[in-house]
Structure 1
Amino acid sequence: MSNVGTSQAAQKVTSQLFNKSNLKYLFTTHFWGPASNFGIPIAAVMDLKNKTPDTISGPMTTALILYSAVFMRYSLAIKPVNYLLFGCHVVNEVAQLGQGYRYLKYHYIDGNDKQLRA
């Protein structure tokens, strides 16, 4: 492809990405709310590998599972539907369910809850 063809393709992609509608969306809470909220699921996913099961808080994990379930529903109920918020909470729901499984396995299935039984 020649430089002229590459330049025209780049201009076309740029104009589609940076159009008035997309820039308007970029400066709304519909974008920045979920974008800033992604810290929770990112931390939860990283904790799946890095955090030992004995340090997982059962009550907090349960609260985050319920929180994400509620906000998944909320993100689909509002108008306009916020798919970015929905995606954020889907990722968090899956990660928190993984943490919940690790918590239950460690404390109740593997029998590491000797302090709880005594």
Structure 2
Amino acid sequence: MAASKLQALWNHPAGPKTIHFWAPTFKWGISIANIADFSKPPEKISYPQQVAVTCTGLIWSRYSLVITPKNWNLFSVNVAMAGTGIYQLTRKIRQDYFSEVQEAPVEG
């Protein structure tokens, strides 16, 4: 049974013999890097970068479901990209707009 599943994956139009497999597989590096940045202070997060990661994830997640054959590897990596981007944007927005720490007035 496992051999037939592996054979089906190997021969799939979006399988490991095609760019449709390898491009999304390498794209996982972006999501992994974003996860590694979860420990980065929010003030060092870039709005343009995270908006780009989030939008790319959302747009390509949708696209991966309307093409034939469905590319589940492409779908999963883009859901991860959208999720990590949204999380990073949430951290940045919370720090920039909802932080209760107020700067002390400068006396001079």
State the TM-score, normalized to the length of structure 1: 0.74
What percentage of residue pairs aligned between the two structures are identical? 29
83, 89, 92: which one aligns with 1:94: 83
Q: Per the alignment, do residues 71 and 109 of structure 1 end up closer, same or farther by CA in structure 2, a change over 3 Å counting?
A: same
Query: Which has the larger helix fraction?
Result: 1
Shift of 1:47: 1.2
Q: Per the alignment, do residues 29 and 113 of structure 1 end up closer, same or farther by CA in structure 2, a change over 3 Å counting?
A: farther
Q: Per the alignment, do residues 75 and 112 of structure 1 end up closer, same or farther by CA in structure 2, a change over 3 Å counting?
A: farther
Q: Per the alignment, do residues 16 and 91 of structure 1 end up closer, same or farther by CA in structure 2, a change over 3 Å counting?
A: same
Corresponding residue number in structure 1 for 2:20: 30
Q: Which has the larger radius of gyration?
A: 1
Moved over 4 A (4+): 111-114
Shift of 1:23: 2.4
Runs of 5+ unmatched residues, structure 2: 104-108
Corresponding residue number in structure 1 for 2:54: 65
State the TM-score, normalized to the length of structure 2: 0.80
13, 16, 22: which one aligns with 2:4: 16
